[in-house]
Structure 1
Amino acid sequence: MAWSESIKSEALKAFFENPIFLSAVSSWFFAQLIKAIIVLLRSGRKTPREVLETLIWRTGGMPSSHSSLVSALTVSIALNEGVGSNLFVVTLFFSLVVMRDAMGVRRSAGIQAKTLNLLGRSAADRLGIEYTPVKEIHGHAPLEVVIGALLGIIIAAAVTYL
Structure 2
Amino acid sequence: MISFIPLRTGDLSAFFENPVFLSAITSLIFAQLLKAIIVLLKNTKKSAKEIVATLLWKTGGMPSSHSSLVTALATSVAFKEGIGSTLFIVTLCLALIVIRDSMGVRRSAGLQARALNLLGKQVGDRLNIEYHQVKEIQGHAPLEVLVGSLLGILIAAAFALL
RMSD in angstroms over aligned alpha carbons? Answer: 1.1
The one-letter amino acid of 1:35's match is K
**TM-score, reference length from structure 1:** 0.95
Deviation track 1:58-92 (CA, whole Å, cap 9, x = no partner) reads 11110000000000000000000111111100110
| CA distance, structure 1, for counterparts of residue 72 and residue 16 of structure 2 | 16
In the TM superposition, what are the counterparts of 1:97-136 in structure 2 within 5 Å?
97-136=97-136
The one-letter amino acid of 1:20's match is V
The one-letter amino acid of 1:114's match is R
Deviation track 1:9-55 (CA, whole Å, cap 9, x = no partner) reads 11010000000000100000000000000000001112111111000
User: Offset at 1:128?
Assistant: 1.1
The match for 1:155 is 155
Greater share of helix residues, 1 or 2?
Answer: 1
In structure 1, stretches of 5+ residues that fail to align are: 1-6
User: Offset at 1:143?
Assistant: 0.5
Moved over 2 A (4+): none
| CA distance, structure 2, for counterparts of residue 133 and residue 51 of structure 1 | 23
| Percentage of identical aligned residues | 63
Number of residue equivalences: 157
Deviation track 1:105-130 (CA, whole Å, cap 9, x = no partner) reads 11110000000000001111111111
In structure 2, stretches of 5+ residues that fail to align are: 1-6
| CA distance, structure 2, for counterparts of residue 99 and residue 107 of structure 1 | 11
| CA distance, structure 1, for counterparts of residue 52 and residue 158 of structure 2 | 26
The match for 1:137 is 137
Q: Secondary structure at the match of 2:83?
A: coil
